[in-house]
Amino acid sequence: MFAVYAESFSTDDPLSGLVLGERPDPVAEDGWTIVDVKATALNHHDLWSLRGVGLKQEALPMILGCDAAGVDQDGNEVVVHAVVSDPSWQGDETLDPKRSLLSERYQGTLADRVAVPTRNVVPKPASLSFEEAACLPTAWLTAYRMLFTQGGLKPGESVLVQGAGGGVATALIALGRAAGLRVYATSRDETKRARALELGAHEVFETGARLPTRVDAVMETVGRATWSHSVKSLRPGGTLVVSGTTSGPNPDNAELTRVFFLQLRVIGSTMGTQAELRSLTELLDVSGVRPVIDRVLPLEKARDGFAAMAGGDLFGKVVFTR
Ligand SMILES: NC(=O)c1ccc[n+]([C@@H]2O[C@H](COP(=O)([O-])OP(=O)(O)OC[C@H]3O[C@@H](n4cnc5c(N)ncnc54)[C@H](OP(=O)(O)O)[C@@H]3O)[C@@H](O)[C@H]2O)c1
């Protein structure tokens, strides 16, 4: 089958290890199913994999991709949950020490077909296209858990979203607005700030600019470049939820004095549970909120999508279709 896979790692030139070509068809073990992929989406995780972050040399060649929407062996339209926990694990799959994401231990979704545990498929609402549904398993699920589970945000509260153009960030803005939050967003780019306003942000700011008022929570995926500003933007007792470090994991100033003096809560967040993915699909079905898609490309043009993400030249998701 046709697939997009990592053959080698490079920190400086991640696309050098990216290959588009033939890979063996997946085989479904007991308790697994095969999904015919109709649409799949790109995540920064795929670039990290090509840099050798989170993926082991001995796992190569590895088909990339965590996100897929397609049709299972029984003909059902489904969305794939990318968090694969141990079969014996009960409860929150993201907390299983043995869990992995598709494309880390098991082959990923940038392919004609993907094998997944049967419990990892969730019904796709008819109101969502395959392209829209393909955006949910990683970026949108991460945003959902950051806001509502880890952030515990309630209607009427305020949130700052850093780095407005990212896949997670656009989801945070759209979901935050739909949930009745006051949404502030930052971006380095004027055009992206304007797009963030259209998407639902109440106010937008240049990266690092002082906000008119301190917020209840900050959603952080940028890391080093925005960390200090995130801490300084919180009200006493506020919550900083972090799920990514696109600009690097080591901030120049961790602002620890502020963290303890203002009794801030710093909470990590990764992906989400299968139950949260179901809730997210329901939320989109009833609210009419839809993922922001920067571009849709045939999977054969995947290299163009990877290059756009590596260049930071995106607003929302890159989706590949079969
Ligand atoms: N923990 C998890 O489960 C999980 C899930 C999904 C993603 N993530 C992580 O979250 C991060 C975001 O991923 P993504 O796929 O949404 O998109 P992304 O392409 O990594 O995010 C791009 C955004 O980051 C901002 N940015 C990048 N470098 C910056 C810098 N030097 N200064 C300020 N802003 C900068 C940009 O915002 P502007 O251009 O608008 O300023 C850009 O739009 C990644 O690191 C990813 O690995 C984690």
Q: How far is CA 8 from the centre of its chain?
A: 23
- Residue 145 main-chain phi, psi, to 5 deg: -65, -40
Hey, which residues does 195 pair with through a beta bridge?
Answer: none
The pTM (predicted TM-score) of the whole model is: 0.97
Q: How far is CA 307 from CA 31, 128, 253, 312, in A?
A: 36, 27, 31, 9
Q: What is the pLDDT along the chain (322 residues), one digit of tens a residue?
A: 999 999 999 999 999 999 999 999 999 999 999 999 999 999 999 999 999 999 999 999 999 999 999 999 999 999 999 999 999 999 999 999 999 999 999 999 999 999 999 999 999 999 999 999 999 999 999 999 999 999 999 999 999 999 999 999 999 999 999 999 999 999 999 999 999 999 999 999 999 999 999 999 999 999 999 999 999 999 999 999 999 999 999 999 999 999 999 999 999 999 999 999 999 999 999 999 999 999 999 999 999 999 999 998 899 999 999 9
State the closest ligand 1 atom to the C-alpha of 163, by its place in the atom list counted from 1: 37
Instruction: Report whether residue 207 contacts ligand 1, using a CB cutoff of 6 Å.
Output: yes
Query: Using CA positions, which residue lies closest to atom 6 of ligand 1?
Result: 139
- Residue 318 main-chain phi, psi, to 5 deg: -100, 125
How high is the pLDDT of residue 145? Answer: 98
CA dist 128 and 137 (Å) reads 14
How high is the pLDDT of residue 176? Answer: 98
In our burial notation (b when 16+ CB lie closer than 10 A, e otherwise), range 219-241 reads bbbbbebbbbbbbbbbeeebbbb
CB-count burial class (<10 Å; 0-12, 13-18, 19+) for 164: buried
96: CA distance to ligand 1 center in Å? Answer: 25
CB 299 within 8 A of CB 4: yes
How high is the pLDDT of residue 312? Answer: 86
Which amino acid, residue 229? H
